[in-house]
Amino acid sequence: MKLHADRAEGVNVINAYTRDSVSVNGQVYSRSILVPPTGDMVDWPVQSMAALTEAHFSQIAQCKPELVIFGSGTTLRFPPPHLLQPLMAARIGMETMDTAAACRTYNILVAEGRKVMAALLVEPQN
């Protein structure tokens, strides 16, 4: 699905997504990534929901967003609550949704000037 949004200068916008990729600012990523409101994408070395660890959420907390939109892939799946401890300790909110909804929600929030980060899980297809 293609997403079209007006892009303020320097703001990262998710242009499109498929089952196995996400396009940000016209660049296609076929791996999991963190999308900050501005600046470079951050490699997020997660290959599956089962591979998530607390360290993955610590990486997000170090970026200090106000809110994290977690895209869990093609279906809505929640990470185990104990993995979210780094976000809770830093008082960073998190919303979980499938990746399609996460991409749309991120674009809306970033357009509003929110300090939001999308954490998008892209799992290799068998």
Rg (alpha carbons) of the chain, rounded to whole number:
13
- pLDDT at residue number 10: 83
Contact 56, 85 (CB under 8 A): no
For range 97-105, the mean pLDDT = 96
- This prediction has a pTM of 0.90
pLDDT tens-digit map of 21-64 = 999 999 999 999 999 999 999 999 999 999 999 999 999 999 99
Separation of first and last alpha carbons in the chain: 21
User: Alpha helix locations (H) across 1-126?
Assistant: 54-62, 85-89, 99-111
Domain ranges of the chain: 14-120
Q: What length is written for the chain?
A: 126
Q: Are strands 42-43 and 33-35 parallel, antiparallel or unpaired?
A: antiparallel
Q: Tell me which CATH homologous superfamily contains domain 14-120.
A: MTH938-like (3.40.1230.10)
